[in-house]
Amino acid sequence: MDNAFAKSIPEVLDFFRVDPTKGLSDTQVVQHGRLYGTNVLHEDQRAPFWKLVLKQFDDLLVKILIAAALISFILALINGETGLMAFLEPSVILMILAANAAVGVITETNAEKALEELRAYQADVATVLRSGCFSILPATELVPGDIVEVSVGCKIPADMKMIELLSNEVRVDQAILTGESSSVEKELKTTTAANAVYQDKTNILFSGTVVVAGRARAIVVGVGPNTAMGSIRDSMLRTEDEVTPLKKKLDEFGTFLAKVIAGICVLVWIVNIGHFRDPSHGGFVHGAIHYFKIAVALAVAAIPEGLPAVVTTCLALGTKRMARLNAIVRSLPSVETLGCTTVICSDKTGTLTTNMMSVAKICIVESAKSSPFVTEYSVSGTTYAPEGIIFDKAGVQLDIPAQSQCLLHMAMCSALCNESTLQYNPDKGMYEKIGESTEVALRVLVEKVGLPGFNSMPSALNMLSKHERASYCNHYWEEQFRKLDILEFSRDRKMMSVLCSRNQLHVLFSKGAPESIISKCTTILCNGDGSVMPLTADIRSELDSMFNSFAGKETLRCLALALKWMPSDQQTVSFDDEKDLTFIGLVGMLDPPRDEVRNAMLSCMTAGIRVIVVTGDNKSTAESLCRKIGAFDHLIDFTEHSYTASEFEELPALQQTIALQRMSLFTRVEPSHKRMLVEALQHQNEVVAMTGDGVNDAPALKKADIGIAMGSGTAVAKSASDMVLADDNFASIVAAVAEGRAIYNNTKQFIRYMISSNIGEVVCIFVAAVLGIPDTLAPVQLLWVNLVTDGLPATAIGFNKQDSDVMKVKPRKVNEAVVTGWLFFRYLVIGAYVGLATVAGFIWWFVYADSGPKLPYTELMNFDTCSTRETTYPCSIFEDRHPSTVSMTVLVVVEMFNALNNLSENQSLLAIPPWSNMWLVGSIVLTILLHTLILYVHPLSVLFSVTPLSWADWMAVLYLSLPVIIIDEILKFFSRNPNGMRFRLWFRRSDYGLLPKREVRDK
């Protein structure tokens, strides 16, 4: 029954044909179960394991690599090759792809945990009336129409409509649905609000929420997927994980690169058709196969096999740094996504605030003899920890608050007229509440006031253990007084009273709504001398004014405290005794903002990140909090910047678009609204981060580009998020954003490094094929360069230092290419030099090296006809391993110099020297050592088809490698120099030919 909240009790009972005094019959239970379903959140059918595995290979670059590996394997079999060398290349490629697939499968499996943990919020049992008898049944057996009884501590087993109150009031903690710390008072009357949200449906008890006060009977109106908890689950199931900006750009660039690679491979094969019949190949077919192997080697060279592993490593390094900032990353790609976040939708309760009600202001009557009669105190401390200081109106600290008569009696009343508990949880290292947040706030106030008669107060209390300190003062008053009778809170009275005795002195303590308490007071307790004076009209007027200031301007939740001396023989009290009370004081409490939030939000604005506060609270309270934070001081008022969910939904589509661009505050929301907000912002090309801690936040956390859960939040929220803030601190998000931006900059640098290196390998093979000279590099040598000598420096580039202005620039655009047209040209130039230098090293050994044969260049180009001609040299010279060793060494060394170029995108090495990143220097040294190892250790040199080099060979390698730094310095100069703008603007025309088509559309 979808609209039970708007129906009267008789209408709902009649709909389900149930007698509220007897409940459903056994026959009706079976019928309703068949008609409406069972009270179970069914497990979603997961994708089979084999589908998850196959999904990891659904990438064009990966498919090309697999094809290259298989072709290499087949060609080795056709040629009759055996041993380790024949299958080394395809085996290594497949091992890398298998490792990446394993990481992907593990990540996707973890994402399903949010749905499993959602079931933890379902009740286990329920007290049900059936066939005239109450019995305790498993909650899964409930059906719509069942009559259920609930009481304090009960977890609501299904969505139910209240039909009977069995106590003065019923209050329910709905924080997991609404995120608000205050409990909600439930009632029987029908809800008439249009577009009612959870907070408006005061006659409905929602599945998974907890009763914190009172008893009631209710009729089940929704079970399983048809409950509020079920709708959250369905929303999570409908949410597809968003692809991160970096992943999108890498996919686009990969597609572009794959097409270029395919074209070059085909071109190389076609260019060499004339060589298919060369005698050295042994026939046309064998010649075609030979050059096909070269094309496959070209594909292997062009594709950066190590790129996924290096990206993952760099992101993992970032997660370690972020963990030190209390930001625990659950999804590696989200590290980078933070860097381009443009909007943070921040939950109010528990994120910007502490989610702990705290007494902030106290109003008492100082004296009834001189005006002004009332005075105001402020109280520090924003958590449930019994730590805080009380200040007078002038801001002076009260050394011993308990010496003040009103504060002393206020502490007595707060400790005795209270049914909550404050305790210390050693596992979490924090103080926790049991019961109403407002009552726990009063208990904390008692601890801050301290005890009378001790000059060492309050320092003596700090010597206690945290467990003892939690309620030491409260326990003191509970031991001093004996509770005789209690008048529970009721809706009509709006107050609670307790009769206590101490040494034959009987006192009635009362607390409640200020308008109710003050109207029943005839006298006041004066703080100055402890005297009791009549409550005059002038004093009453001042109290009303102070109450209006607390509740209106400062939006504090107010309670008034009073007492009455009773006859010493009275053992019970009635409602008639709640009159002629003596007013003690007024307290104003709130869920206070975190101290560091203001600076954090200002940092976001400086970084070009907009913050939207999202809350289920009412509009005025939320606006007041935003003013307290101080981050919205630039707004004259909240008109056109603050909307309730219903106000926003009523706007026409065009005005909604405009409102989204201005919005700073979104109130009275429920889970569907949060998800809707994220989707609407994403449609405006915003990169959205959503913070939250409750079950209600899970769908939006999952839908957002990056979901940020609080460390103290629910397991459901954490599982649906990409990142968890261990300290629940909004300020940690700012530090994480800065880290995310730095990680992206470093990621760009090592991607460019690897791409330029791979371009060099492609140029090397392509030029060698076009010139018709022997193969410069063997496939296993290419694999060594790609995986080891490229991978170590690329990873070390991830340690480049964070720019000083990283949080002073606007977020990068989502459609910003990882490698833009101008940068691609720069790295094409560098890559071309790398490839030409590698080929030059090969030719140098044959033509010019003293240790080489010093062949004429034409002989080198006609190597394949050597066996059919008379030559002055043996044909076996073309099988010598020296030239390919020189080529491979040139390729390794030139890429090490190129790694130094990537310390900065545009800054010269003179401005940012190599030692600014000692990890990079270390990786270059280690790479050279590893390369030297395979040259001079015999088993390794055989495996990689290399041979030791002489000193002259090494000098030639250095001469050919070093110019890459000079070339890149010139290109960096054009990037920095305004005179180079004309050149860059002219070149931009050709950007569109270099970038993928989708990139052009984004522009």
User: Phi/psi zone of residue 131: left (φ > 0), alpha (ψ -120 to 50 degrees), beta?
Assistant: left
Within 8 A by CB and 6+ apart from 712, the residues are: 350, 355, 428, 693, 728
End-to-end CA distance of the chain: 50
Strands (E), 606-754: 610-614, 642-644, 665-667, 688-692, 706-710, 723-725
Query: Cα–Cα distance between 527 and 375 in angstroms, integer?
Result: 10
Contact 158, 137 (CB under 8 A): no
Query: Cα–Cα distance between 9 and 29 in angstroms, integer?
Result: 20
For the chain, the residue count is: 1003
Within 8 A by CB and 6+ apart from 236, the residues are: 114, 115, 118, 698, 699, 702, 720
Within 8 A by CB and 6+ apart from 545, the residues are: none
Residue with tokens 């707004």: 635
Tokens read off for 754: 């690897």
Contact 980, 973 (CB under 8 A): yes
Task: Dump the DSSP string for 396-454.
Answer: PBPS-GGGSHHHHHHHHHHHHS---EEEEETTTTEEEEES-HHHHHHHHHHHHH--TT-
Within 8 A by CB and 6+ apart from 380, the residues are: 388, 389, 390, 391
Q: Decide: helix, strand or coil at residue 835.
A: helix
User: Phi/psi zone of residue 16: left (φ > 0), alpha (ψ -120 to 50 degrees), beta?
Assistant: alpha
Within 8 A by CB and 6+ apart from 761, the residues are: 301, 302, 777, 782, 785, 786, 834, 835, 838, 891
Burial 738-752 (b: 16+ CB within 10 A, else e): bbbbbbbbbbbbbbb
Residue with tokens 């340690």: 799
Backbone angles phi, psi at 331, to 5 degrees: -125, 115
Tokens read off for 823: 């940068």
User: CA nearest 298: which of 245, 351, 344, 261?
Assistant: 261
How many CA atoms does the CB half-sphere of 145 hold within 13 Å?
Answer: 26
Query: Cα–Cα distance between 649 and 671 in angstroms, integer?
Result: 14
Sign of the CA dihedral with 807 first, then 811, 816, and 818 last:
positive
Q: Max CA-CA distance within the chain?
A: 133
Query: Cα–Cα distance between 431 and 34 in angstroms, integer?
Result: 47
Query: Cα–Cα distance between 526 and 981 in angstroms, integer?
Result: 78
Backbone angles phi, psi at 393, to 5 degrees: -65, -30
Among 347, 728, 775, 968, the active-site one is 347
Q: Omega before 458 cis (within 30°)?
A: yes
Which amino acid, residue 908? S
User: CA nearest 787: which of 829, 832, 830, 757?
Assistant: 757
Q: Is 392 a catalytic residue?
A: no
Within 8 A by CB and 6+ apart from 63, the residues are: 57
Task: Dump the DSSP string for 131-187.
Answer: TTEEEEEEGGG--TT-EEEE-TTPBP-SEEEEEEESSS-EEEE-HHHH--SS-EEE-
Active site residues per annotation = 347
